[in-house]
Structure 1
Amino acid sequence: MTAVAPDTRGQRAGVDVDVDAIVIGAGFSGVYMLHRLRNMLGLSVRVLETGDGVGGTWYWNRYPGARCDSESYVYCYMFDKELWQQWEYSERYPEQDEIRAYIEHVAERFDLYRDIQFNTRVTAATFDEANGTWTVSTQNGDRLTARFVIAAVGTLSVSNTPKFPGIGSFAGETYHTGCWPHRPVHFVGKRVAVIGTGASAIQAIPRIAQEASELTVFQRTAGYTLPANHGPVPEVVKRARKADYEGIKRRISESAAGFELSFLEKGAAESTQEEVNAELKTRYNQGGFGIWLGGYLDQFFTQDANAKIRKFLEDRIRERVNDPATAELLVPKGYPFGVKRVPLESHYYETFNLPHVHLVDVKSNPIAAITPTGLRLSDGTDYEFDTIVYATGFDALTAPFTNIDFRGRGGRRLEEKWAEGPRTYLGLMSAGFPNLFTITGPQSPSVLSNMTVSIEQHVELVSRIIADMADRGADTVEATREAEDAWVAHNQEVAEATLFPTAATWYMGANIPGKPRVFLPNLDFVGPYRAKCDEIVNNGYEGFVFDATITQEVVA
């Protein structure tokens, strides 16, 4: 695609608009979307961002130990070879501040800041059927019109705090890992509670333990983890990677999850426990996702195969935790390995060997209330703290989109349409909402992949659709009801063939009371999903309608 003059407002739509496209969010998705639409297609674009800086997830998540679980050489944009060659993270897994610095560098490098409006929360967006445009409203009272709206709002951007009785009564300091203060937080000499043991807690707990005089972790469900084996990357490895840009880019785009990992040909079910142990030990010592996303594929489909993986990992926990009772609490129970998010950890289990760190099971004895001095369990046990850290996760995948009052054809709200679960085509569009794109939305690989790979694929697909609309002379594009129905059904069928639905996870919406229990991401894997999207485009955009007038009956 070649750049054209950027002053194209309203030319194709036949009506005046403020900008051609409004992008909601200035994380990895929004920053790249702005570059593609403005610098490559020549459109006028405005990015609206709630925070006062770029970064998205990495702007908000500043808790102690916040770090990416994807290796640094693939947790970055691959669209520009020179950018990829020149930027270098300091270690194997980039920390939050480095990732934020990287996105800031990209925004400066491609002159993006001038079209990003910070401190602006989008509250609503309404489609005008008469002229095929969107009106976007903000909390500041602004109203902007555009032909296209791209929701680059992220998948884990709406934090979840359980509604404990008395939650506002605590007199000490409270924090949520998903919305950490942009100032130093100190725990020296303090009695600290951490509620939750998910991905953010697993990173934060070892760091908080280094400062706190006493740390008590309240765990509802133990999770499987894998060692990160974090540290500097050897120079010889760096040089080899720099020389293989094209190969790395191709392999991660064709892979299962956006990494240079591939599953073993022989399954765990047809291997002995000893063979499985030997295979997994190598990957365990290497660190990273090699056991989860580069081990045995049949672990996702059969309990027999999965049990062998669990046996290996559970033995590692018992080896690393000194107290047998604590170790048993940390051993996951009641669900298969790999169907919950598998975080990477650094010294997590060893932290519970420290005398001032305590683990409390709140599955058998739930938290009954937050009190002015701490919290109380159901059996009446009271704990006193100076600080409470809520590491209680997010209302994932759907809430970032439904928290905005999107209204499509006939004034129908997206939240209403998704009341029983998301309804999308490719996780990219929803029928009845023309020219609205959801980057890495529900029912796309998104959170089951290296996000930067999936983000680039979606952003490039959206920019291709918009460019092809110009060639067609089209004003609107949207998914058909039939294509959407088929994709929703396909998404669930693929998930139900696996062990994923057997666990109560945020992949299933199970962490949010009242949220429909449907599988939210897509399990086709990154490479096959990309190939499917390419096939759809090459076949004349199967499942999409350009310039269509779709009746209320079709989208009801």
Structure 2
Amino acid sequence: MSTTTIPEQRDVIIIGAGIAGLYMLHTCRTLGLDAVVLERGDGVGGTWYWNRYPGARCDVESLDYSYSFDDDLQQEWRWAEKYATQPEILAYLDHVADRFDLRRDIRLAANVVSAEFDERTEGWTVDTEDGRRFTATYVVAATGVLSQPKVPSFPGQDDFRGTVLVSSQWPSDGFDFTGKRVAVIGAGSTGIQITPLVAEQAEQVFVMQRTPSYSIPAYNRLLTDEEFAAAVAEYPERRRTARTTLLGVDTRNPNVSTFELPEAEVRAAYQRNFDYGGPMKLLTTFNDPIVDQRANDVAAAFLAERIRERVGDPELAERLIPDYPVGSRRLCVDTDYYETLRRDDVALVDLREAPIVTFTESGIRTADAEYAVDVIVLATGFDAITGALRAIDPRGRYGASLRRKWDEYPASYLGVMVAGFPNLFTITGPLSPSVNSNMFVAIEQHVEFIARLLEHAVDRGHALVEATVKAEEGWIAHAAEVANMTVFPLADSWYTGANIAGKASAVMPYLGGIGGYQQVIDEIADDDFRGFKVSERALASA
């Protein structure tokens, strides 16, 4: 006896219940749209649900890393630390889901496996892994920019008899490293956060580094009641200013060039922001390191000195100093990472000198040594920005594959839509500020712009919205022009897709900044949504 799946019909299907998905659902309700969220996890939180590894912490200060759409919410949530931990951020997002009664329209353990545009009905059909089907006029991909893990397969990986832990699939009840010999593969943001805490328990830690990172100490601490009260009082201005800045955070740095000041003052300014802690103030100390290689060299020399000081061992320090421009790969934040590498029970394994050859039954063999370990931690990053939606591979007009299109280039118009995929919206998609900014601000920008587009379409009878090919081509050219004015193309990184074999090479974040991007989308909306084709659906006129 066969059964037919009866689709659940909604106005909007939202894929993902992270920061973007929660706000999109709330916003759809304010527009009077019937929306559902499909989330592959067993809880809300997105990135902060999955990444529960030891040391997971935000690199944007907690007072800026939160929603701004509700003043009462801003005032009632009391952040505990300067840089919030994963459990605290997840608790905040759980609070938001409960406070705004969002859970009744969230379907958990709903792993989306396909999304197809139907030319006949001019709507979308979305299927989940467990056989559920949903149909809607509009789909919003809130799939996240760092949500598709890159889980490498090393030769001999199945032969290893110990434990393999993936940073983004960490055991929910944690893991005890006491007395274990551990290899941490990866020295990006995740590896830098994990290593010091693993070293506190383990008998021996091997940090396996292919590319070193620039990392700034967090100087994390508890927030005082006075600090929190002052921040709450200034939130309206703080949030407004954030929308005008490069990174979506008011770093309160002067808008001056490296070369406008004497060398001593330049050094003092960098030292002041280094001592404050965290990457954002330091990266914006001056207005030119990202666009002027000479200015970048000044920043790089300063940070190299700090690495040498923190490591103490000249030979080890040189292996930890990057050879690419500051900011062209993710600038990390740490607590005692370099200091941990000085310990006798911690060793740096430079994979550029001796790459991994194979996993063995008892550990890892490189080109020049064998390392016997009990646990291997894969802190190997993500298929960033486009990876999660590529995995679903939405099909647009005439069955066009988004994956195939993005295999050629991570094309989009504003990072919001892709030509050929009507009524499919992407939150912080490629060629938008996304990961090169405070993600809460970038997400709110996109949700609010998409809301304006939806309202515009609904007012026209739930019309079709499409990005035109001409507008998409123009935005691609503009984003590339902006990127080529910076140091970003000078490094291979996940910003450019270089960490994924075969991925199209392009600087995926839009580097015009949060403030510049806000001006662009406001102008486009005010110009009757220039570059978007809004047309009556055939069924509406039939």
TM-score normalized with structure 1 length: 0.93
Of 17, 30, 41 in structure 2, the residue corresponding to residue 26 of structure 1 is: 17
Q: 2:510 matched to which residue of 1?
A: 522
Q: 2:240 matched to which residue of 1?
A: 250
Deviation at 1:399, TM superposition (A): 1.1
Q: 1:389 matched to which residue of 2?
A: 377
Q: 2:275 matched to which residue of 1?
A: 285
1:94 and 2:84 matched: yes
Q: 1:268 matched to which residue of 2?
A: 258
Q: 1:461 matched to which residue of 2?
A: 449
* Shift >6 Å, 4+ stretches: none
Which digits, 9 at most, give the CA deviation of each residue in 1:65-102, with x for residues without a partner? 00011111111110000000000111111100111111
SS in 2 for 1:145: strand
1:232 and 2:232 matched: no
Aligned length: 532
Q: 1:214 matched to which residue of 2?
A: 204
User: Would you say the 8 A contact 1:509–1:517 is kept in 2?
Assistant: yes
Of 129, 134, 146 in structure 1, the residue corresponding to residue 136 of structure 2 is: 146
| CA distance 1:72–1:336, change in 2 (3 Å) | same
SS in 2 for 1:136: strand
User: Would you say the 8 A contact 1:262–1:293 is kept in 2?
Assistant: no
Which digits, 9 at most, give the CA deviation of each residue in 1:291-325, with x for residues without a partner? 54421221112221111111111111111112222
User: Would you say the 8 A contact 2:466–2:534 is kept in 1?
Assistant: yes
Q: Quick one: distance in 2 between partners of 1:387 and 1:544?
A: 51
Q: 1:5 matched to which residue of 2?
A: none
Matches of residues 111-126 of structure 1 in structure 2 within 5 Å?
111-126=101-116
1:399 and 2:380 matched: no
Q: 1:339 matched to which residue of 2?
A: 328
Q: 2:356 matched to which residue of 1?
A: 367
Q: Quick one: distance in 1 between partners of 2:141 and 2:25?
A: 12
Q: Quick one: distance in 1 between partners of 2:254 and 2:244?
A: 16
SS in 2 for 1:375: strand
Matches of residues 120-519 of structure 1 in structure 2 within 5 Å?
120-262=110-252, 264-333=254-323, 335-379=324-368, 381-519=369-507
Q: Quick one: distance in 2 between partners of 1:170 and 1:548?
A: 59
Q: Quick one: distance in 1 between partners of 2:255 and 2:516?
A: 18
SS in 2 for 1:216: strand
User: Would you say the 8 A contact 1:474–1:547 is kept in 2?
Assistant: no
User: Would you say the 8 A contact 2:8–2:133 is kept in 1?
Assistant: no
Q: Quick one: distance in 2 between partners of 1:405 and 1:318?
A: 46
Q: Quick one: distance in 2 between partners of 1:330 and 1:101?
A: 35
User: Would you say the 8 A contact 2:496–2:508 is kept in 1?
Assistant: yes
Deviation at 1:181, TM superposition (A): 1.6
Q: Quick one: distance in 2 between partners of 1:170 and 1:268?
A: 51
SS in 1 for 2:525: helix
Q: Quick one: distance in 2 between partners of 1:50 and 1:127?
A: 21
Q: Quick one: distance in 1 between partners of 2:114 and 2:152?
A: 26
| CA distance 1:55–1:111, change in 2 (3 Å) | same
1:61 and 2:20 matched: no
Deviation at 1:549, TM superposition (A): 8.7
Q: Quick one: distance in 2 between partners of 1:370 and 1:262?
A: 48
Q: Quick one: distance in 1 between partners of 2:421 and 2:121?
A: 14
Q: Quick one: distance in 2 between partners of 1:88 and 1:128?
A: 46
Q: Quick one: distance in 2 between partners of 1:266 and 1:254?
A: 17
Letter in 1 for 2:255: E
Q: Quick one: distance in 2 between partners of 1:206 and 1:17?
A: 47
Deviation at 1:28, TM superposition (A): 0.4
Deviation at 1:234, TM superposition (A): 2.9
Q: 1:534 matched to which residue of 2?
A: 522
Which digits, 9 at most, give the CA deviation of each residue in 1:432-457, with x for residues without a partner? 11110010111100000000011111
| CA distance 1:83–1:536, change in 2 (3 Å) | same
SS in 2 for 1:232: coil
Q: 1:49 matched to which residue of 2?
A: 39
Which digits, 9 at most, give the CA deviation of each residue in 1:178-219, with x for residues without a partner? 221211211000000001100011111111110001111011
Structure 1 unaligned segments of length 5 or more: list them. 1-15, 551-556
Which digits, 9 at most, give the CA deviation of each residue in 1:235-258, with x for residues without a partner? 332221111121011011111111
User: Would you say the 8 A contact 1:20–1:147 is kept in 2?
Assistant: yes
Deviation at 1:264, TM superposition (A): 3.5
Letter in 1 for 2:178: V
Letter in 2 for 1:395: D
User: Would you say the 8 A contact 1:132–1:475 is kept in 2?
Assistant: no
User: Would you say the 8 A contact 2:179–2:201 is kept in 1?
Assistant: yes
SS in 2 for 1:507: coil
Q: Quick one: distance in 2 between partners of 1:118 and 1:549?
A: 31
SS in 1 for 2:183: strand
Deviation at 1:131, TM superposition (A): 1.8
Q: Quick one: distance in 1 between partners of 2:241 and 2:399?
A: 43
Deviation at 1:272, TM superposition (A): 4.3
Letter in 2 for 1:413: S
Q: Quick one: distance in 2 between partners of 1:131 and 1:292?
A: 52
User: Would you say the 8 A contact 2:139–2:423 is kept in 1?
Assistant: yes
SS in 1 for 2:201: coil
Q: Quick one: distance in 2 between partners of 1:486 and 1:301?
A: 22
Deviation at 1:472, TM superposition (A): 2.4
SS in 2 for 1:168: helix
Cα RMSD (Å) of the superposition?
Answer: 1.5
Q: Quick one: distance in 1 between partners of 2:281 and 2:27?
A: 36
Structure 2 unaligned segments of length 5 or more: list them. 1-6
Deviation at 1:266, TM superposition (A): 2.8
User: Would you say the 8 A contact 2:433–2:509 is kept in 1?
Assistant: yes
